Structure 1
Amino acid sequence: MAEAKIVLDGLSKSFAGRAVLDGVNLTVEKGESLAIIGQSGSGKSVTLKCILGLLQPDSGSILLDGEEIVGAKGARLERIRAKFGMLFQGSALFDSMPIWRNVTFALTHGQRIDGARMRKIAEENLERVGLPARILDLRPSELSGGMQKRVALARAIAPRPEIIFFDEPTTGLDPIRADVINDLIVSLVDDLGITALTITHDMASARKIAHRVAMLYEGKIIWRGPRDRLYDSGNPYVDQFVQGRAEGPIQ
């Protein structure tokens, strides 16, 4: 039996009386890549923020390696977060820092320490995402959007996290550059044995990077299944969403 890395059980969260998450149940297995799809406002980002401890759910449980993490604070929360890496939607690089300091930021917390070793670590991680050492001293603004996304990916993997969260990893990229990022995510998950949880609107990305896909609708997981069933789910809500049809049960 596969080992559960993350287990969400009855996760609920409301804002101003509106239920955004309404009893979410979901399991992510160790070494699995799982994508969560759904409309804007369906609760994908809120789910991620609850796992990261940025939001506290109103009710429900989040188990990480069997440990309850809802309500974690202080040193325990920091220990839990040390297991996570994050690729933000807009890359979220620091333009005041050269690329090598961006890549090693989680290792130094922005402090100017052990420069030679950090440059070497940055170079090794940039190489993993197909970027040359010559960009080490450039600023993010000097790179294209696709290169910035790869730098952000190098930063996410530099501390060798157990879990990486991908927030719309292909947003703002043309189809070719998006496919490059998808290929990198697949190879990194396979090579490093990382557990991956992705939220995305990009069906091509979901089909390529995920072992399984789950759909959030009105605060609940309404379908989950292997990626090759995404366009053959038998669920009218999923079918309408993945095919981008205006007509159907989703209004």
Structure 2
Amino acid sequence: MAGEKILLEDVRKSFAGRAVLDGVNLAIEPGESLAIIGQSGSGKSVTLKCILGLIRPDAGRILVDGEDVTAMRPAQLEKLRTKFGMLFQGSALFDSLPVWRNVTFGITQGRMREPARMRMIAEENLERVGLDGRILNLRPSELSGGMQKRVALARAIAPRPEIIFFDEPTTGLDPIRADVINDLIVSLVDDLGVTALTITHDMASARKIAHRVAMLYQGRIIWRGPRDRLYDSGNPYVDQFVLGRAEGPIK
């Protein structure tokens, strides 16, 4: 099949003899926002790391714009990663750097380059996430958790990536701040026309951010469908997971 932005074909990965990914098949279209849900330890993060080229699968193929990530040399991977933006689970900001240098870190690779221009870029991207220039010189530790998440989001979009990965974007936030971040992600994905892949166990986040949702269970995608079918999937594993029931096929 041609035209997918990201395509996983029969991806397998084991650690110490335990299969974490056991034949993952998944396609993400250009401009699509897809969320992968599943229990802790189901392989969501390993899937993400395989796409990023941080982990090499034992078998299968991962294509990004038709290029096989699993066959790339380090220099090719570095070039590919310029297409990616990333919002890390814990924001992962550098406390030793002011906000403006955090936001432009992906552009400068942490070096002090063109500070006046970088401050302008930082301010422009902070405005996109609802923050203003008054925080440019603050340290991340001086910001609330919700503001830190916004700064991390500004950093993810600053290099104008084609693909953004969101790793548990609402972790550690109260429901109201989480909803603000979800709304921001939706508007940014739409405005910038990027392809988005989110891994989450927050059902409210999955339903709001994603066009489609896929569930990973025991190393395989066991269900995929539009977000409005998440609570009407007809799949007992998905039903148990999204409703948080103790009783069901998931032990």
TM-score computed with the length of structure 2 as normaliser? 0.99
Once the two structures are aligned, what percentage of the paired residues are identical?
A: 82
Aligned pairs (5 A) from 1:160-239 = 160-239=160-239
Structure 1: gaps (5+ residues): none
Aligned residue number for residue 62 of structure 2:
62
Superposed CA offset, 1:167-202 (max 9, x none): 000000000000000000000000000000000010
Cα distance in 2 for partners of 1:70, 1:136 equals: 39
Q: CA RMSD in A?
A: 1.0
Alignment TM-score, normalising by the size of structure 1: 0.99
Deviation at 1:74, TM superposition (A): 2.4
The Cα shift of 1:71 comes to 3.1
Q: How far apart in 2 are the matches of 1:64 and 1:250?
A: 32
Q: Which amino acid aligns with 1:33?
A: S
Separation in structure 2 between the aligned mates of residue 74 and residue 240 of structure 1, nearest angstrom: 41
Q: What is the CA-CA distance between 1:2 and the residue it aligns to? A: 8.9
Could you list the runs of 4 or more consecutive aligned residues of structure 1 that deviate by over 6 angstroms after TM superposition?
none
Is 2:155 aligned against 1:159? no
Equivalent residue number for residue 128 of structure 1: 128
Preserved CA contact (<8 Å) 1:2 1:30: no
User: Deviation digits for residues 97-129 of structure 1, max 9, x if unmatched?
Assistant: 000000000110110110000000000000000
Q: Does 1:49 align with 2:68?
A: no
Report the 3-state secondary structure (helix = DSSP H, G, I; strand = E; otherwise coil) of the residue aligned with 1:245.
coil
Structure 2 stretches of 5 or more lacking a match?
none
Which residue in 1 is equivalent to 2:250?
250
Tell me what 2:38 maps to: 38
Identify the residue that residue 29 of structure 1 maps to in structure 2.
Answer: 29
Question: What is the number of equivalent residue pairs in this alignment?
Answer: 251
Query: Is the CA contact (8 Å cut-off) linking 1:2 and 1:29 kept in structure 2?
Result: no
CA distance in 2, matches of 1:140, 1:115: 18
Tell me, in whole angstroms, the C-alpha distance in 1 between the residues paired with 2:211 and 2:39: 21
